[in-house]
Structure 1
Amino acid sequence: MTRRGVRRVLPLILGWEELPRSVSVHGAPHGERVREPVPGVLLETEEGWLLLDTGFNTALLRDPELRRRYYPSPSYQPELPGPGEPLPAALAAVGVALEEITAVAVSHLHADHAGGLKHFAGRVPVHIQRAELEFGLSGRPEVERETIFRVDFDDPRIDWRLADGDQEIVPGVTAVLSAGHTPGHQSFVVDLAEGGGYVFTCDAADLTENIDEERAAGTSIGVPPEATLAPIRHLKRLAADKGYELVPGHDPVVWPELIRRLTGGQGHRRHGRTVPPTPRR
Structure 2
Amino acid sequence: MTRRGVRRVLPLLLGWEDLPRSVSVHGAPYGERVREPVPGVLLETEEGWLLLDTGFNTALLRDPALRRRYYPSPSYQPELPGPGEPLPEALAVVGLTVEDITAVAVSHLHADHAGGLKHFAGRVPVHIQRAELEFGLSGRPEVERETIFRVDFDDPRIDWRLADGDREIAPGVTAVLTAGHTPGHQSFVVDLADGGGYVFACDAADLTENLVDERPAGTSIGVPPEATLEPVRHLKRLAQEKGYELVPGHDPVFWPEFIRRLSPGRPQALTAGSAHRAFS
Q: Normalised by the shorter chain, which TM-score bucket?
A: over 0.9
Alignment of 1:49-88 (within 5 A): 49-88=49-88
Per-residue CA deviations over 1:217-271 (Å, capped at 9, x if unaligned) read: 0000000000000000000000000000000000001101110010114261xxx
Structure 1: which amino acid aligns with 2:188?
Answer: F
Match in the other structure for 2:258: 258
Structure 2: which amino acid aligns with 1:177?
Answer: L
Structure 2: which amino acid aligns with 1:21?
Answer: R
Per-residue CA deviations over 1:89-130 (Å, capped at 9, x if unaligned) read: 000001111100000000000000000000000000000000
How far, CA to CA, are the matches of 1:267 and 1:139 in structure 2? Answer: 41
Structure 1: which amino acid aligns with 2:239?
Answer: A
How far, CA to CA, are the matches of 1:184 and 1:203 in structure 2? Answer: 11
Does 2:270 correspond to 1:276?
A: yes
How far, CA to CA, are the matches of 2:193 and 2:66 in structure 1? Answer: 44
Runs of at least 5 residues in structure 2 that lack an aligned partner in the other structure: 274-280
How far, CA to CA, are the matches of 2:98 and 2:133 in structure 1? Answer: 24
Runs of at least 5 residues in structure 1 that lack an aligned partner in the other structure: 269-274
How far, CA to CA, are the matches of 1:7 and 1:148 in structure 2? Answer: 32
Match in the other structure for 1:34: 34
Do the aligned partners of 1:183 and 1:222 also contact (CA within 8 Å) in 2? yes
TM-score by length of 1: 0.96
Structure 2: which amino acid aligns with 1:2?
Answer: T
* Identity of matched residues, %: 87
Match in the other structure for 2:173: 173
How far, CA to CA, are the matches of 1:136 and 1:77 in structure 2? Answer: 22
Structure 2: which amino acid aligns with 1:125?
Answer: P
- Cα offset for 1:87? 0.1
Greater RCO, CA 8 A, separation 6+ = 1
Alignment of 1:202-221 (within 5 A): 202-221=202-221
How far, CA to CA, are the matches of 1:65 and 1:78 in structure 2? Answer: 15
Q: Calculate the aligned-residue CA RMSD, in Å.
A: 0.8
Match in the other structure for 2:9: 9
Per-residue CA deviations over 1:109-162 (Å, capped at 9, x if unaligned) read: 000000000000000000000000000000000000000000000000000000
- 3-state SS in 1 of match to 2:237: helix
Does 2:165 correspond to 1:137?
A: no
Match in the other structure for 1:158: 158
Per-residue CA deviations over 1:30-81 (Å, capped at 9, x if unaligned) read: 0000000000000000000000000000000000000000000000000000
How far, CA to CA, are the matches of 2:206 and 2:267 in structure 1? Answer: 19
Match in the other structure for 2:277: none
Do the aligned partners of 1:103 and 1:126 also contact (CA within 8 Å) in 2? yes
Which aligned runs of 4 or more in structure 1 are off by greater than 2 angstroms?
Answer: none
Aligned residues: 273
Match in the other structure for 1:243: 243
Structure 1: which amino acid aligns with 2:203?
Answer: D
- 3-state SS in 2 of match to 1:91: helix
How far, CA to CA, are the matches of 1:265 and 1:22 in structure 2? Answer: 33
Match in the other structure for 1:272: none
